[in-house]
Amino acid sequence: MSQASDKVVIGKIGAPYGVKGWVKINSYTETPEGIFDYQPWNLSDDNEYQIDQWRPNGKNLVAKITGVDSRDDAERIKNLDICIDADQLPDLGDEGYYWRELTGMQVVTTQGYDLGVVKEVFNTGANDVLQVRANVKDAFGQKERLLPFVFDDVVQSVDKEGKVITVDWDPGF
């Protein structure tokens, strides 16, 4: 799945921090500091930004972004999404995948029943969940299904090439 030109949201600009243009950073990366491994940032205002400095601040992160030099400048970028090009993400190889790669994949049972297409993937705290939009003429009258993304128990395989997720799941549930 080549989506090199896609943008991936990896965080969000928070409130201004001080008067010299520093901002709080809300990181969505596995380790919060990992957000600074990716540059440049493309904020959702369609401008590109470089990080001048960053540091931990208690349990939070703060950063000084090049060209953001006052509290007013920081206020203008507050709440903007921090995006990067998808090709900046590390390659996870054949065994790994990002949630965005699962979206749009066909979901079929081990018995061959077509459950539908992955609409979204989200985390409940206990495990990841696939939100599957059922086919229009689903034999069981389902509009959508929520399937736990638990390998070996529910998810049997993920075929990135064929864009198919095989699950052990009762279609009537």
Paired tokens of 164: 């198919």
Distance between CA atoms of residues 165 and 158, nearest Å: 5
Q: What is the pLDDT along the chain (173 residues), one digit of tens a residue?
A: 344 458 889 999 999 999 999 999 999 988 999 999 999 999 988 889 999 999 999 999 999 999 999 999 999 999 999 999 988 888 887 778 888 889 999 999 999 999 999 999 988 888 899 999 999 888 888 899 999 999 999 999 999 889 999 999 999 88
Q: Distance between CA atoms of 79 and 43, rounded to whole angstroms? A: 10
Structure token pair of residue 150: 């638990």
Coil, helix or strand at residue 131 = strand
> In the chain, what is the straight-line distance between the N-terminal and C-terminal CA atoms, in Å?
30
**Do strands 81-85 and 106-109 pair parallel, antiparallel, or not at all (unpaired)?**
unpaired
* Residue 11 contacts residue 28 (beta carbons within 8 Å): yes
